[in-house]
Amino acid sequence: MQKTLLIAVFAALLAAAPCAAQHLDPPPPAVGNDRDVGVNQLSKFGSYDAIKARLKQWNKEGKTIAELLAEDKANAISLVASLKLSCVVTNAVLVAVDDTANTKTYEVACENAAGYFLVQSDPPGKPSGFSCFAAEVARQADIAAHRQAALTCSLPENAGSKPMAAAILQRAGKTCAVRDTKWHGQSATTDFLEVACQEGPGFVVRSPLPGSQSPLHVDTCIDLVRIGFVCKLPGNDPTLERLKAALKPFKVSCDAEAVHAIGHEAVKRREVVEYFCPKQQPKGLVAFLPAEGSTEPFEAVDCQAAAKRQAICTLTKQ
């Protein structure tokens, strides 16, 4: 009975939650190799049968479920400390063991709602880890490529990018009914997740990576323009939203899907912008938007007329 219950509990914890596929874009800085190492370790011991075999071995030691989970949490806390990760562990479970490489991989849930896979080696080597957001994207990429999918985070606190993002934002005091998420990759110290909300502007969750002592940050998309980070989910692009709003007072029919800032008129002080709204403006649309204080009129022309003024469209096919 105890053996059956043990397997059932751990199987439930490790069952991957379904999630929407995401496309992996290049991150702002260079991506390191730690995530790939961790994913490879998981794939070596990620099948249900392998996990069940490990649980049977544990059960022979006569330990209760509570003792096993307590042991996992204690080991994870020690691993978090050695990685200098900004994480107060609330839950943890050993999800993979590679006897050949002498590694153990833990899934960890943190008080700030971030989740990770952390890989420990024995004898002690350099530990590594990666976020649950990265793990979910890696799994979806494997599925899309018809490869055997690696595990994704499955602790109740970590199951799915949207619930995790919602919990992180709530703890950070932000109001957001999460509509979508997009993982933008990692720098040497930080994991970047863009979050789109049902209403209002979105956010960027900057989670510290193992080895970084930085706290978790939540920023608006506009906040991160200064470091060159560009939000891409619909409703989050600050440039798109600003230029769409600039067009509204002139009552031009255009539900812009994208914009291209062509340049500025130095003398007339107007911003020249191409709008891509093929349903309303199939010939393209270039607007001449007067800057504050300019006495020049607003103008809107199609791409052919704009080309005669040396304003070349790049979004609309000619």
CA distance 150 to 174: 32
Q: Which of 227, 257, 282 is at the close of a domain?
A: 227
Per-residue pLDDT of 127-145, as tens digits, reads 788 899 999 988 888 888 8
Q: Which of 202, 227, 252 is at the close of a domain?
A: 227
Question: What is the pLDDT at residue 33?
Answer: 40
CA distance 96 to 87: 21
Question: Do 163 and 27 have their domain in common?
Answer: yes
Question: What is the pLDDT at residue 13?
Answer: 34
Question: Do 32 and 161 have their domain in common?
Answer: yes
More confident residue, 250 or 3: 250
Question: What is the pLDDT at residue 72?
Answer: 87
Phi-psi domain of 13 (left: phi exceeds 0; alpha: psi -120 through 50; beta: other) = alpha
Question: Do 63 and 207 have their domain in common?
Answer: yes
Question: Do 194 and 280 have their domain in common?
Answer: no
Question: Do 244 and 142 have their domain in common?
Answer: no
Judge whether 316 lies within some domain. no
* Cβ-Cβ contacts under 8 Å for 20 (sequence gap 6 or more): 180
> Among 261, 255, 291, which residue's Cα sits nearest to residue 273?
261
> Among 20, 13, 14, which residue's Cα sits nearest to residue 163?
20
Could you give the strand order of the β-sheet that contains 190-197, starting from the edge strand earlier in sequence? Answer: 178-186, 190-197, 203-208, 217-220
Question: Do 222 and 249 have their domain in common?
Answer: no
Range of the domain at 259: 238-307
Query: Per mean pLDDT, which range of 1-5, 53-57, 251-255 is the poorest?
Result: 1-5
pLDDT value at 163 more than 60: yes
Question: Do 196 and 248 have their domain in common?
Answer: no
Question: What is the pLDDT at residue 26?
Answer: 32
Q: Which of 161, 194, 227 is at the close of a domain?
A: 227
- DSSP H or E stretch at residue 21: none
Residue pair 45/174 in contact (Cβ under 8 Å)? The answer is: no
Question: Do 58 and 107 have their domain in common?
Answer: yes
Question: Do 78 and 143 have their domain in common?
Answer: yes
pLDDT value at 210 more than 80: yes
Number of H-type helices and E-type strands within the chain: 8, 12
Number of domains in the chain: 2
